[in-house]
Amino acid sequence: MAEQPSLWDQPAAEDSAPAPPRASPRILRVTDLNRRVRSLLDADAVLADVWVEGEVSQPSFPPSGHCFFTLKDANSQVRAALFREELARAVVRPEHGMNVIIHGRVRAYEPQGVYQLYVESLTPAGAGDLHSRYEALRKQLAAAGLFEDGRKRPIPRWPRRIGVVTSPVGAVWRDINNVLRRRYPLVELVLSPSVVQGATAAPAIVRALQRLYAQRDLDTIILARGGGSLEDLWSFNDERVVRAVADAPVPIIVGVGHESDVTLADFAADLRAPTPSAAAELATPDATQLATILGRLRDRATAALLGRADERRSFIDAEGRALGRLAPDIGAARQRTADLLDRGARALDDRMERRRALLAATHDALRTLSPAATLERGYAVARGADGRILRDASATRAGDPLQVILARGTVESRVEGTRADDAEELFR
């Protein structure tokens, strides 16, 4: 449809133009009329940001993904539109007869000439409002024992595989990845993706958890979602989700929203983390600290070994001292040895002395036996011409030279004659 100049859209232009003569009533086109009404409604500050309580009637869900229904009270009704995006975020799906509080704005829908309530958020109203439903469910599940401390299991200290249920798009998954990459990259992450917001989130989270529960060898599970309004986080207060968390076969950490957000799923978890990043931290040891711990272990080993060596050394020292105490007294031994030596020497000296005395005696004896002493006693020695000592007179003949050796001097002579006298008889 070609856009035509409209008096209603351009009041300024109209004012500046000369007023036409009022010959006939102004004929508006329907489009112009509806646009005029829309402008009026859009200009109203109250209608642009309105809270309305009423009962949902005849909701329809066409293939477009939007939802249309009538909101009414005892006397009046108004048409309402809940578009796909808002529907996905809504805590509850509009149902016929449901009392709700709607936050939204009122606008005219020009093609049909109607005004509608465009819903931004929709929450159950009255006794069924979020807070009281939260409280009621909390009491019910607490009474069922789902939140008891005795059910809480310790988180494995050295996980090898960690299952994660969260939205694969967005900051939360990225944060968890970053934390673990920095903190404990030794772990394997198993992502079970899920929608975590809107009316379809609760059953999706339950399915995602159950996919993980079917996995073997998971040490820990993390259920995480970023922060948001109570409505945004509502699926974590859904009884199905809370019970699924309580059913986890391995320890489960729930990290939803920011620190102030506590959902019923948090209560049912083995450990509640204030944020998704904190959940990743609580699920793992810190590699930096690990390096320190490892270093400390090595130091302890070194210290223990050195200690052992020291022990050995002091043991050896002590043994050495003990040996010293037990050993014979070397000083005394030395003294004894010295004494012995002295005695030996003295004994030797004595013996030498005796030897010397004996020697002297022997010398005297020898002297008495020497020819000189014999000669002194008056004997003589006769030597023949050949210089040999004569013992037999028959060895010489008359005229032979004869040397007669006396105690003092020698007589040179010649043989006159010989006789065969017996010396024995001669000196008898």
Partner 1 sequence: MIDEAALAVLTDDELAKHPFDELVVALQQAVQRLEGGSTGLEESIELYKQGLRLHAACEKRLREAELAITELGRRGVTGAEPSAEG
Residues 281-320 as x/- pattern, contact with partner 1 by CB under 8 A: ------x--xx--x--xx-xxx-xx-xxx-xx--------
What is the CB neighbour count within 10 angstroms for residue 337? 12
CB 193 within 8 A of CB 221: no
Q: Which H or E element spans position 375?
A: helix 371-376
The sign one gets for the Cα dihedral 241, 243, 246, 247 is: negative
> Given the rule CB under 8 A, which of 61-69, 97-105, 202-210, 377-385 is the region that contacts partner 1?
202-210
The CA distance from 264 to 411, in Å, is 160
Return the SS3 of 327.
Answer: coil
Whole-number minimum distance, CB 337 to partner 1, in Å?
A: 39
Nearest to 87 by CA among 228, 201, 206, 241: 201
Nearer to partner 1, 57 or 215 (CB): 215
Q: Which of 215, 374, 403, 418 binds partner 1 (CB under 8 A)?
A: 215
Residues 6+ apart with CB under 8 A from 103: 49, 50, 51, 119, 120, 121, 122
Asked if residue 181 binds partner 1 (CB under 8 A), the reply is: yes
Nearer to partner 1, 117 or 246 (CB): 246
Q: Which H or E element spans position 312?
A: helix 287-326
Asked if residue 195 binds partner 1 (CB under 8 A), the reply is: no
The angle at the Cα of 204, spanning 100 to 202, to the nearest 5 degrees, equals: 35
The CA distance from 55 to 128, in Å, is 13
> Given the rule CB under 8 A, which of 57-65, 152-160, 255-263, 364-372 is the region that contacts partner 1?
152-160
Nearer to partner 1, 36 or 211 (CB): 211
Nearer to partner 1, 10 or 302 (CB): 302
Whole-number minimum distance, CB 169 to partner 1, in Å?
A: 12
Give a three-class secondary structure readout of 175-221: HHHHHHHHHCCCCEEEEEECCCCCCCHHHHHHHHHHHHHCCCCCCEE
Whole-number minimum distance, CB 95 to partner 1, in Å?
A: 24
Asked if residue 190 binds partner 1 (CB under 8 A), the reply is: yes
Whole-number minimum distance, CB 287 to partner 1, in Å?
A: 5
HSE-CB for 215 with a 13 A CA cutoff = 22
Nearer to partner 1, 312 or 354 (CB): 312
Whole-number minimum distance, CB 177 to partner 1, in Å?
A: 7
The sign one gets for the Cα dihedral 127, 130, 134, 140 is: positive
Helical ranges in 269-286 per DSSP H: 276-282
Nearer to partner 1, 71 or 179 (CB): 179
Q: Which of 17, 30, 136, 214 binds partner 1 (CB under 8 A)?
A: 214
Asked if residue 249 binds partner 1 (CB under 8 A), the reply is: no
Which parts of this chain interact with partner 1 (CB under 8 A)?
A: 157-158, 160, 168, 177, 180-181, 185-193, 206-208, 210-212, 214-215, 287, 290-291, 294, 297-298, 300-302, 304-305, 307-309, 311-312
